């Protein structure tokens, strides 16, 4: 300390507090700021400038990922580096989704395994995951979709008639879509994929378990998974209880051999791995939890955004009703899965909603070994995480005219935005699609296998709403709510109300 004082005195600085501040600021500049401004290693991607060490741009990115990328637009023509995270621009998405040296399992397992359970999804090697995806996809057939449509109609109509949100015996009102759509999607998904036993339990204890389990799906658990939070304790207890419920259902089915209708549990009970081994009851239970949790938020978000956009532009509700009458008449009893595929405007509405609001704003992979970026000098080091936000390109004027406007009919004239080339990663042929600026369901080996089910589920929900209700935004609202990026799935800000009136028919 004496040497420090003497040195400062020689420099003409005698106030020790002031001198300490100067030293700290100098060290901060030399160790944190200077390396960002002058990178020695040309193989490293440019750094996203940030004032805060360790935290970096995390808060800025988390508040609005798309705004972050747009602000960095000139720089994100290259990859951007922050500490152990590399942000990728759209031109690198093909590399991101298809490169074998990046790993999804290691990126997500600490978040998903406590929720889904062990020995499934990201808690197993990739080749086993591909087999499990194939098992699930086997249960998502055209025949099952045909059987599911009337079940979804029944659930939605019952909800509109009996739920407190829309009010029993009410003819009009103002209701929150952010309350209604999550419940509708979970009821319809449980009634179709999960089976009668699960749906019948969902109004009671199962709903509480679902809520506690869902509490584990938070960004903080991705960053710091080991925190002993009360939500995590509830999550762990709920996971064990829910898994036991599924295993009891499976045990009872094996005992009675009753096979009343087709659902995913029956499908998984009859699947074998390549080595001949059947799935254990525990694996089936954990896969059923994964199916329940993974699809609920994304479908709820898409359905909610679609109904909000229709409320903002009710002319499309009128056009959808006219389309219904042309395709299947006046009665919902006539609606079939094949009818859904014939309703072009409905398809355009869903696609346009997904373009403006892809459910996941950010997707992450872990680098297993150094990766040379194609046609660039940049090398991504191992143990880094790659982050991509596919939704950025889908609202870019470079690829879509009037990109921020909800214009469903654009899809009538829009050229096919997905590559036609297909590849089998072990669970059936899927479109590569990674060169497209429109990637709401991802691409590559981890492309969502529930895409067709989601279109069927959301399409049936929207069709039932249009058939049963008229709705607009409340009179004090002129635009739809802003996106809430604090969750892992992009939801509209609460309460997301609509003003509705039940259609009167003779």
pLDDT in tens, 8-17: 555 555 566 7
pLDDT value of position 47: 76
Q: Which range, of 235-239, 265-269, 388-392, 403-407, averages the lowest pLDDT?
A: 388-392
Q: Is residue 23 part of a domain?
A: no
Helix (H) or strand (E) holding 422: strand 422-424
Task: Report which of residues 462 and 92 the model is more confident about.
Answer: 462
Q: Is residue 61 part of a domain?
A: no
Number of domains in the chain: 1
Q: Is residue 331 part of a domain?
A: yes
**Helices (H), strands (E): how many in the chain?**
22, 14
Helix (H, G, I), strand (E, B) or coil at 483: strand
The Cα–Cα gap between 407 and 274 comes to: 46
Q: Is residue 83 part of a domain?
A: no
For the cut 80, the answer to whether the pLDDT of residue 92 exceeds it is no
pLDDT value of position 16: 61
Task: Report which of residues 154 and 48 the model is more confident about.
Answer: 154
The Cα–Cα gap between 101 and 120 comes to: 21
For the cut 70, the answer to whether the pLDDT of residue 427 exceeds it is no
Q: Which of 166, 483, 499 is nearest to 353 (CA)?
A: 483
Is 448 marked as a binding-site residue?
yes
Q: Is residue 27 part of a domain?
A: no
What are the pLDDT digits (tens) for 101-150? 555 667 778 888 999 999 999 899 989 999 999 999 999 999 999 999 99
What are the pLDDT digits (tens) for 18-58? 667 777 777 766 676 767 677 777 777 777 777 777 777 77
Read off the pTM.
0.85
Q: Is residue 1 part of a domain?
A: no
Task: Report which of residues 428 and 288 the model is more confident about.
Answer: 288
483 beta partners: 492
CATH number of the domain at 409, please. Answer: 1.10.630.10
**Average pLDDT of the residues in 93-97:** 46
pLDDT value of position 96: 46
For the cut 70, the answer to whether the pLDDT of residue 334 exceeds it is yes
Task: Report which of residues 355 and 23 the model is more confident about.
Answer: 355
Q: Is residue 432 part of a domain?
A: yes
Q: Is residue 448 part of a domain?
A: yes
* Torsional class of 150: left (φ above 0), alpha (ψ -120 to 50), beta (otherwise): alpha
Per-residue pLDDT band for 424 (boundaries 50, 70, 90) equals very low
What are the pLDDT digits (tens) for 163-186? 998 977 889 999 999 999 999 999
492 beta partners: 483
Q: Which domain holds residue 422?
A: 93-502
């Amino acid at each position: 300390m004496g040497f420090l004082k003497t040195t400062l005195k020689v420099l003409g600085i005698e106030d020790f507090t002031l001198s300490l501040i100067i030293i700290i600021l100098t060290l901060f500049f030399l160790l944190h700021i200077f390396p960002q401004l002058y990178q020695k290693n040309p193989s490293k991607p440019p750094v996203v400038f940030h004032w805060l060490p360790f935290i970096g741009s995390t808060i800025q990115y988390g508040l609005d990922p798309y705004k972050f990328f747009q602000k960095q637009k000139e720089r994100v023509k290259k990859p951007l580096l922050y500490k152990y995270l590399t942000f990728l621009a759209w031109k690198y998405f093909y590399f991101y989704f298809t490169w074998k040296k990046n790993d999804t399992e290691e990126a997500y397992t600490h978040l998903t395994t406590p929720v889904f359970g062990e020995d499934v999804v990201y808690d197993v090697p990739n080749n086993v995951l591909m087999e499990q995806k194939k098992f699930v996809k086997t249960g998502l057939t055209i025949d099952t979709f045909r059987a599911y449509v009337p079940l979804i109609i029944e659930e939605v109509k019952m909800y509109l008639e009996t739920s407190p949100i829309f009010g029993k015996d009410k003819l009009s009102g103002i209701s929150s879509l952010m309350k209604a759509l999550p419940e509708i999607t979970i009821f319809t998904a449980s009634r179709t994929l999960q089976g009668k036993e699960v749906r019948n339990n969902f109004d009671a204890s199962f709903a509480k378990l679902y809520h506690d389990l869902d509490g584990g799906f938070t960004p903080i658990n991705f960053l710091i998974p080991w925190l002993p939070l009360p939500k995590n304790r509830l999550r762990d207890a709920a996971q064990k209880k829910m898994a036991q419920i599924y295993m009891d259902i499976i045990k009872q089915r094996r005992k009675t051999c009753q096979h009343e209708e087709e659902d995913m549990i029956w499908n998984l009970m009859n699947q074998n791995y390549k080595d001949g081994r059947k799935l254990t009851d525990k694996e089936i239970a954990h896969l059923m939890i994964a199916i329940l949790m993974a699809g609920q938020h994304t479908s709820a978000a898409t359905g909610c955004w679609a109904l909000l956009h229709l409320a903002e532009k009710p002319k499309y509700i009128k056009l959808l009703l006219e389309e219904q009458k042309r395709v299947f008449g006046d009665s919902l009893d006539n609606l079939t899965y094949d009818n859904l595929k014939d309703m072009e405007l409905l398809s355009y509405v869903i696609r346009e909603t997904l373009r403006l609001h892809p459910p996941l704003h950010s997707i992450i992979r872990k680098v297993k070994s150094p990766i040379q970026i194609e046609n660039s000098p940049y090398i991504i080091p191992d143990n880094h995480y790659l982050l991509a936000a596919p939704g950025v390109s889908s609202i870019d004027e470079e690829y879509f005219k009037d990109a921020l406007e909800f214009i469903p009919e654009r899809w009538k004239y829009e050229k096919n935005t997905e590559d036609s080339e297909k590849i089998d990663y072990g669970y059936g042929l899927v479109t590569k699609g990674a060169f497209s600026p429109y990637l709401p369901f991802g691409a590559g080996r981890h492309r969502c296998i529930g895409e067709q089910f989601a279109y069927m589920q959301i399409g049936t929900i929207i069709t039932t709403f249009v058939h049963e209700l008229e709705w607009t935004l409340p009179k004090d609202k002129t635009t739809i709510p802003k996106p809430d990026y604090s969750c892992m799935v992009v939801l509209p800000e609460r309460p997301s109300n609509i003003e509705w009136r039940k259609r009167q028919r003779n």
